[in-house]
């Protein structure tokens, strides 16, 4: 068995919703293990001078309609309009990095995206933040103190630097034995690649 596939993502990415909500079922269906790896995609986008959808109204309108179509295709709940962009993107991801270290990252991430995309409460802000941490079985006061400490800030920066070192420039991304797949619509391709690796048939 090869190492788990790395799922690199940033809470704040809209298309990442389509991967986050499908990942557990696909992992079980195909017998693939995922390592959840949050990072700060905004920092990478700024470095690349990549202007977000929020400043491109025509493209943003298409994005939301596209996500709406795909969510319906996958049977995922969605309630437009959804608050975007996230004012507390970094805090949402600092919590996720801590959660990844402690082993409750998937539960927190799924909860925070559900609160954001279904209940329309922005991830990283209240009431989403405390509710999602609580649903993951953790104490919000403890988690937020750690996530917002100097060590929490450094941990997110370190995770982001690691993502950049792998050539990651967007969210979601999947890395299988060094092979990079970008975009929620490459999830099945990444799973197939990982499956071939597990069978001893790379490529």
Judge whether 112 and 132 are in contact, CB under 8 Å. yes
Report the alpha-carbon distance of residue 110 to residue 56 in Å, rounded. Answer: 27
Spatial strand order in the sheet of 173-176:
34-38, 5-9, 173-176, 179-182
Whether residue 155 lies inside any domain: the answer is yes
Whether residue 135 lies inside any domain: the answer is yes
Whether residue 31 lies inside any domain: the answer is yes
Whether residue 203 lies inside any domain: the answer is no
> What does the pLDDT look like over 91-125, one tens digit per residue?
999 999 999 999 999 999 999 999 999 999 999 99
pLDDT at 86: 95
Number of domains composing the chain:
1
The domain containing residue 86 runs over which residues? Answer: 5-198
Whether residue 80 lies inside any domain: the answer is yes
Return the ∠ at Cα 149 (arms to 122 and 110), rounded to 5°: 35
Report the alpha-carbon distance of residue 91 to residue 193 in Å, rounded. Answer: 33
pLDDT at 47: 85
pLDDT at 202: 59
Whether residue 32 lies inside any domain: the answer is yes
- DSSP string computed for 37-57: EE--HHHHHHHTT---GGG-H
Residues 163-173 have a mean pLDDT of: 96
> What does the pLDDT look like over 180-203, one tens digit per residue?
999 999 999 999 998 888 777 755
pLDDT at 143 over 70: yes
Residues 165-188 have a mean pLDDT of: 96
> What does the pLDDT look like over 13-69, one tens digit per residue?
999 999 999 999 999 999 999 999 999 999 999 888 776 666 778 999 999 999 999
* Percent of the chain predicted with pLDDT > 90: 84
Helical ranges in 76-149 per DSSP H: 89-102, 105-117, 128-135, 140-147
Cβ neighbours of residue 180 closer than 8 Å, sequence gap 6 or more: 166, 167, 168, 173, 174
CATH of the domain at 32: 3.40.30.10
């Amino acid at each position: 068995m090869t190492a788990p596939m790395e799922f690199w993502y940033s809470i704040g990415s809209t298309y990442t919703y389509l991967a986050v909500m499908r990942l557990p079922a696909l992992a079980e269906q195909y017998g693939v293990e995922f390592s959840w790896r949050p990072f700060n995609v905004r920092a990478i986008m700024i470095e690349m001078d990549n202007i977000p959808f929020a400043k491109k109204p025509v493209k943003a309108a298409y994005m939301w309609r596209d996500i709406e179509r795909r969510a319906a295709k996958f049977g995922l709940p969605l309630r437009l309009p959804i608050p975007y962009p996230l004012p507390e993107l970094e805090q949402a991801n600092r919590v996720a990095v801590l959660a990844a270290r402690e082993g409750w990252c998937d539960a927190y991430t799924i909860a925070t995206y559900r609160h954001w995309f279904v209940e329309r409460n922005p991830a990283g802000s209240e009431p989403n933040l405390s509710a999602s941490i609580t649903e993951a079985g953790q104490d919000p006061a403890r988690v937020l103190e750690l996530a917002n400490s100097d060590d929490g800030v450094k941990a997110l920066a370190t995770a982001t630097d690691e993502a950049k070192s792998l050539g990651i420039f967007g969210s979601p991304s999947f890395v299988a034995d060094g092979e990079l797949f970008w975009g929620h619509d490459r999830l099945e391709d990444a799973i197939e690649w990982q499956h071939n690796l597990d069978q001893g048939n790379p490529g």
